[in-house]
Amino acid sequence: MVYYLETKSTDPYYNLAFEEYVLTHRTEGDHLLLWQNDNTVVVGRNQNTAEEINADFVEAHHIRVVRRGTGGGAVYHDMGNLNYSFITDAGEKEELSFARFTQPVVRALCDLGLPASASGRNDILVGDCKVSGTAQRLCGSRILHHGTLLFDSDPSMVAGALAVHPEKFQSKSAKSVRARIGNIRSFLQEDMTLPTFWAYLRTALAQGAFQETVLTAEELREVQRLRDEKYATWDWNYGKSPAYDMVNHRRFPGGTLEVCMNARHAVIQEIRFTGDFLSRRELTPVTEALRGCAVEPEAVARVLQQFPLPEYFGTITADEVRDTICNKGDAE
């Protein structure tokens, strides 16, 4: 049985607070959320917001900006976009793959007659066009997997709101083709409205067996508090970035990684990681462990070996993290 919830809101700050509350407080069973944000840029947990948005365009079009709790890159949401969230038990390591959650979405799209497939790190394609991006977060024994579904979004707003980094498309894996974004509606053989697609998706993702449920009045007050005190704040969405002595930026097949660091006598004093890599956990334990470490490959490697790095850096490898910290080697 899948428990189905709706936020009843298009406020991005509220919706992400709602999602986090369900993740941290509904600790048993399988939960499915379907929700929409209106006119919003959503940046990844580890990204530098100022570098990811076209600030003038965002201000001129009254676009809200919010940081989510999962890794990956920045995306634009409007009322032509539908978001889904799976919240369930994480299970064993082999069950943490993106395929566990993307395959039901791919299957739902295929059942509509679309040539859908999972692709790359975390995308869903229809033909050669990207219609969905996904990300994950671990919280204790629970996992959140959420994604976008571009149904009938405005492509001019997507292009205008997000800053494009040319280097993102210069790696070997992306040099030949820059992925095109597409809308699901344009691929349908028979037209469908978004409300109809929403109802179809609810049944398809729950595999027909779901129980609609709601949060209590007290729980909703907690969601509102989390919205106001976290997701709607400047500190969470932009944050204060201290000045760093060294900044090393690399692009790997697993995403971009930027290391900002203060070192004294070749010993790390402060360190911060940013990028669109697909982390599932907060990076604080890693950064704290690296404080006091020599900026030397073997010493850094010994610290990194203490952590299950795929949970923190996705498919960026330990050697790639080490080399970026130490400014050694070349990214692909």
Tell me the pLDDT tens digit for each residue of 93-116.
655 678 889 999 999 999 999 999
Within 8 A by CB and 6+ apart from 290, the residues are 268, 271, 300, 303, 325
Instruction: Tell me the H-state helices in 118-193.
Output: 155-161, 184-187
Q: Which has the closest alpha carbon to 40: 85, 72, 75, 83?
A: 75
Residue 258's Cβ-count burial label (10 Å; 0-12, 13-18, 19+) is buried
CA–CA gap between residue 322 and residue 274 (Å, rounded): 15
Task: Tell me what pLDDT residue 278 has.
Answer: 94
CA 117 to chain centre: 19
Tell me the pLDDT tens digit for each residue of 127-181.
999 999 999 999 999 999 999 999 999 988 988 999 866 554 443 332 223 348 8
Within 8 A by CB and 6+ apart from 95, the residues are none
CA distances (Å), origin 73, targets 20, 163, 244, 268, 276: 19, 11, 23, 27, 5
Tell me the pLDDT tens digit for each residue of 37-48.
999 999 999 998
Single-letter residue type at 124: I
Q: What is the pTM of this model?
A: 0.86
Sorting pLDDT into bands at 50, 70 and 90, what band is 302? very high
How many C-beta neighbours within 10 Å does residue 103 have? 13
Single-letter residue type at 147: G
Buried b (16+ CB within 10 A) or exposed e, 34-51: bbbbebbbbbbbbbbbee
Task: Tell me what pLDDT residue 240 has.
Answer: 62
Task: Tell me what pLDDT residue 159 has.
Answer: 86
Least confident piece of the model among 64-73, 92-101, 196-205, 209-218: 92-101
The CA-to-CA distance between both ends of the chain, in Å, stands at 45
Task: Tell me what pLDDT residue 167 has.
Answer: 52
Structural domains in the chain, CATH included, are 2-237 (3.30.930.10), 246-326 (3.30.390.50)
Average of per-residue pLDDT across 294-313 = 96
Least confident piece of the model among 3-7, 51-55, 74-78, 192-196: 51-55
